[in-house]
Amino acid sequence: MKAVPWLFAFMATTAALAGTTRAVRPGVLIPPSAVDNNSSCDIGTYPAATLLLPYFEVETRKHVNDAGNTIFSVVNTSRQPQIARVTIWTDYGYPALWFNVFLTGYDVASLSLYDVIVNGVLPQTSSSAQAGARSRPNDANPNIVSVDECKSLGGPLPQTTIDSVVALLTAGTAEGECHYGGNHPMAVGYVTVDVVNSCSKASPLDPDYYAKTLLFDNVLSGDYERVMPDKAVGNYAGGNPFVHIRAIPEGGPAGSVSSGLPYTFYDRLTPKAARRIDRRQPLPSTFAARFIEGGTAAFHTEYTMWREAATSAAAGCGVAANANVPYASIVRFDEYENPTVGAGNRAFPVAASAATTSSAFPPRVGASVSGWMFLELDNRAGVSAASPYSVARPSQNWIVIKMQAEGRYGVEYDATAIGNGCTNPIPNGGAYK
């Protein structure tokens, strides 16, 4: 068997990312199982250290029986007990609410965002609850520093907190003149779920959260469903796995070592002295996304997006800059291979739902009702003098395709990522050199 130089270079790179050293004999292929827990920049549906729900919607002004809602589940795939930190962010990338969920071994927690946001009821879990026969004891995880604050989690929130959260997620402001989110008829935003070492109440904007609380065991899995039960507007539902973001290298106590990745998912939020301390895989910037708009089944396609904020954790009122985050390029291809390039400087917020028929996208040309779009969503903040990122790089993104037919059927699935978060950016006049 002839040796292939680039193959050995690739295996050496994956070994370094995994925090391990391997001897590679010339001419011997190491099988995929030799890469520790899929230690690469490729995003896949594997147990992870952080889960991302890219976009949610909750109709706050309707009764729950008629309200659009987003529900999700978080699974602990390990025998060890785990603590999951759930953070609900506005569509400008500002944390509106955060809380902890204690999971015994092999446990699952199900949450309704309508219950959390509108009713103000957090899932009730406890480190004092009896662990199942297959689970390790609730104090057995060596990376959890304390379960004392986990004895009574969840339950009802004060009405003032409920009002503040609803205001942030619908109007973008709870008090004062600062806008931390957009103005919408529904509550919108995104959700992250992190594995952590305690039931700390530290803000996700506090650098100590990433240096002293975040853990690195790739044990969480989950999925979400968006439900529209109002028959007047379709009565449909769709669902998808969370974006599963692994820690590389895996394991160890909080703050123990930084990642060998070029940058990480929480890059703009981590301490400047340890920008890769969260170890989370970065997300890509470029996607291919299918669309069908019209036809005999009256298809309708939307893209729901998560985009990395262009401001730092300390932006304060400046987070309003994330209302209109620019993108590099969008090209629409119909099924006859005809390209249409977008014109103007349109932009999307950090969490957005955008219809393919809107002016945000290049228009359809000709009779074709379907095709695909090439989306290079880099927000270009990484090349500015005031970049919030640790290195000059493309911004991170994720796209979910939401497709409906006949006004009553719906599906959701991830767009195809072109490359990953470690892929060299598409050339742009040497912008990232």
- Write the pLDDT tens digit of every residue in 144-169: 999 999 999 999 999 999 999 999 99
Do 237 and 305 share a structural domain? no
* Sheet architecture: strand order including 187-196: 95-103, 82-89, 187-196, 50-58, 243-245
Which residue from 272, 211, 265, 263 is spatially nearest to 391, judged by alpha carbons? Answer: 263
- Asked which of 232, 248, 274 is the last residue of a domain, the reply is 274
Q: Which residues of 59-83 are buried (b: 16+ CB within 10 A; e: fewer)?
A: bbebeeeebbbbbbebbbbbbbbbb
Do 306 and 261 share a structural domain? no
- What is the distance between the alpha carbons of residues 241 and 223, in angstroms, rounded to a whole number? 4
Give the tokens for residue 244. 């599963």
Does any domain span residue 259?
Answer: yes
Whole domain around residue 161: which residue ranges? 50-274
CA–CA–CA angle 156, 53, 390 (5° rounding) = 110
Does any domain span residue 214?
Answer: yes
* C-alpha 124: how far from chain center: 24
Do 358 and 299 share a structural domain? yes
- Asked which of 274, 297, 321 is the last residue of a domain, the reply is 274
Give the tokens for residue 53. 């729900």
Do 313 and 178 share a structural domain? no
In single-letter form, the type of residue at position 109 comes to: A
Do 184 and 107 share a structural domain? yes
Do 311 and 212 share a structural domain? no
- What is the distance between the alpha carbons of residues 250 and 19, in angstroms, rounded to a whole number? 9
Does any domain span residue 427?
Answer: no
Give the tokens for residue 385. 């003098």
Pairing of strands 329-334, 236-241: unpaired
Do 95 and 191 share a structural domain? yes
Do 331 and 252 share a structural domain? no
- What is the distance between the alpha carbons of residues 195 and 263, in angstroms, rounded to a whole number? 19
Residue matched to tokens 């999307």:
348
Do 258 and 226 share a structural domain? yes
Do 224 and 118 share a structural domain? yes
Q: Which residues of 240-265 are buried (b: 16+ CB within 10 A; e: fewer)?
A: bbbbbbbbbbbbbebbeeebebebbb
- What is the distance between the alpha carbons of residues 138 and 157, in angstroms, rounded to a whole number? 26
Does any domain span residue 59?
Answer: yes
Pairing of strands 286-292, 339-341: unpaired
Does any domain span residue 423?
Answer: no
Contact 388, 310 (CB under 8 A): yes
424: CB partners within 8 A, 6+ apart: none
Does any domain span residue 433?
Answer: no
Do 136 and 215 share a structural domain? yes
Does any domain span residue 281?
Answer: no
Contact 230, 62 (CB under 8 A): yes
Give the tokens for residue 44. 């896949």
H-helix or E-strand spanning residue 160: helix 159-170
Does any domain span residue 381?
Answer: yes
Do 313 and 208 share a structural domain? no
| Number of structural domains found in the chain | 3
**Which residues in the chain show pLDDT less than 50?**
1-35, 429-430
Residue matched to tokens 């969840």:
154
